[in-house]
Amino acid sequence: MRNIILDRDGVINQNPPNFGYVCDWSEFAFLPSSIRAISDLTYADFNIIIATNQAGIGRGIITQEQLHKIHSNMVSTLRNAGGIIKNIYFCPHHPDAGCECRKPKPGMLQKAIQDHCFDPSTTHFIGDSISDIKAAKNADIAPVLVLTGHGLDTYQHYASSQFECRKYLPDKIFTNLFSASQWLIQEYV
């Protein structure tokens, strides 16, 4: 069985404007075809986990209760479309807190791998930012970049960069979660 860990904002749903936060379900907007991608992956027998930084909690902008309501609605919508999310991990800490769970540190991904007995060699992490790619590399799982959310900026950063970030290149790059899901299904099913 293959395993997928997904970032949330910019991969499943639209990033809020101006690097803001989704604070209410009414502000959550699925990216085109992301629901279908998750249901296709579920149907193809992939385990799907979400790992997301949610610094709005540490900044006092959103509460954990608000986040749980958003996630409950997201999971319900996905389930109604045939998609199953096994678990959601989130880092609630302020970026300056120095925690081990905030991406690009690998703590959140390592916890997901440990909790679900995933084999890192059969796990991909799909994200839209440099911190997502670094977290995957730091957790020894295959990083996949999608060009939605901050993905295009991340891609341009890689393309113009000639320094340290070159060691954190993604294994694959896709236009969106749907195209990544179709490749994963074709490759591993």
Is residue 7 among the annotated active site residues?
A: yes
- For residue 27, what is the DSSP state? G
CA separation for the pair 176, 189 (Å, rounded): 20
Q: Residue 123 — very low, low, confident or very high, per pLDDT cuts 50/70/90?
A: very high
Residue 179 clears pLDDT 60, i.e. is over it? yes
pLDDT band at residue 158 using 50, 70 and 90 as cut-offs: confident
pLDDT confidence band for 163 (50 / 70 / 90): low
From the candidates 9, 40, 128, 132, which is the catalytic residue? 9
Tokens of 98: 């120095």
pLDDT at 17: 78
9 residue type, one letter:
D
Q: Which domain holds residue 183?
A: 3-188
Chain centroid to CA 69:
18
Q: Which amino acid is at 1?
A: M
Bigger pLDDT: 28 vs 163: 28
Domain count for the chain, please give it.
1
Task: Find the catalytic residue in 7, 40, 128, 132.
Answer: 7
pTM: 0.95
Q: Which two tokens stand for residue 128?
A: 């839209």
Q: What is the pLDDT of residue 142?
A: 97
Query: CA 66 → CA 28, 69, 96, distances in Å?
Result: 12, 5, 22
Mean pLDDT, rounded, of the chain: 94
The CATH code of the domain that includes 124 is: 3.40.50.1000
